[in-house]
Amino acid sequence: MRRSSKDRKSEIVPSRSVCIKFAGQDLPNFVSLFDTKHAVSCYIPEIRTCYNCYRDGHISKACRSNARCMRYDEAPHPDSNDCSLKDVPPRCINCNKGHLPTSNNCPLVIK
């Protein structure tokens, strides 16, 4: 497999997985690649979380929202340890449940 970097240099990197796009929505059970049958599984990419506004679906470099505190929907602190509400359980900005917005247990991430 060949991997390209930002400076347009490419290098050959060993890999045990291949990403193949299929036309349509039905996946075959197997594909034949180099005269060998391989099982097919659905690839689900990780959800991107913005570390500026803590919403899902984009990264901070592309964020147009105001920065906010990770634990609560308020203005950010110069130092994350200076949160005046750090003794109170956190509230997810995305679903309003009792966890941090970066948690993998968020129902919106699981969905």
Two tokens, residue 67: 């920065």
Q: What is the pLDDT of residues 65-111, one digit of tens each?
A: 888 888 776 777 666 667 777 777 888 888 888 888 888 778 777 66
Q: How many other C-beta atoms can be found within 10 angstroms of the C-beta atom of residue 77?
A: 15
Global confidence as pTM:
0.55
Contacts of 102 (CB under 8 A, 6+ apart): 49, 54, 70
Phi, psi angles (nearest 5°) of residue 98:
-85, 60
Contacts of 41 (CB under 8 A, 6+ apart): none
Altogether, the residues listed in the chain come to a count of: 111
What is the pLDDT averaged over residues 31-40?
88
